[in-house]
Amino acid sequence: MSEELQEGGAEVETARERDHLDRHWRKLARCVHESVNFFFSSSEEDVALGLCQRCAVRTECLAYALDERIEHGVFGGTTARWRRKLLVRRSHVASWHQLLAAAKDQYLNNIDEAHQVAK
């Protein structure tokens, strides 16, 4: 795994790194040493959402919460209410993990292509 990924960067450079990230994303979570109270308290929801904004594994965390139908707390930069609405609207999605991983990879590929064009 690259230094960048270990230090919280969002880049995923190879399929091997993607596989590693899929299995070990929790170790890279920005909240790993934070109190869980932030994430399950409506009065501190904004604090939790702020942490998520700067988290390198937000996509993986959100996919986990959606696939596991977690109905409480902040995960992946979203509230439980937001996720419930999304699950109703997109009830046909079989695997959020696959959908969001593909979207993230496409996004990163587009950035790479844009950098190539800019050179």
Contacts to ligand SF4 by CB under 6 A: 29-31, 39, 51-52, 55, 57-58, 61, 74-77
Q: Which lies closer to ligand SF4 via its Cβ, residue 21 or residue 52?
A: 52
Q: Which lies closer to ligand SF4 via its Cβ, residue 56 or residue 118?
A: 56
Q: From the CB of 61, what's the least distance to ligand SF4, in Å? A: 3
In DSSP notation, 96-112 reads HHHHHHHHHHHHHHHHH
Q: From the CB of 76, what's the least distance to ligand SF4, in Å? A: 5
Q: Which lies closer to ligand SF4 via its Cβ, residue 82 or residue 113?
A: 82
Alpha-carbon distance 87 to 69, whole Å?
8
Q: From the CB of 65, what's the least distance to ligand SF4, in Å? A: 8
Tell me the β-bridge partners of 75. 78
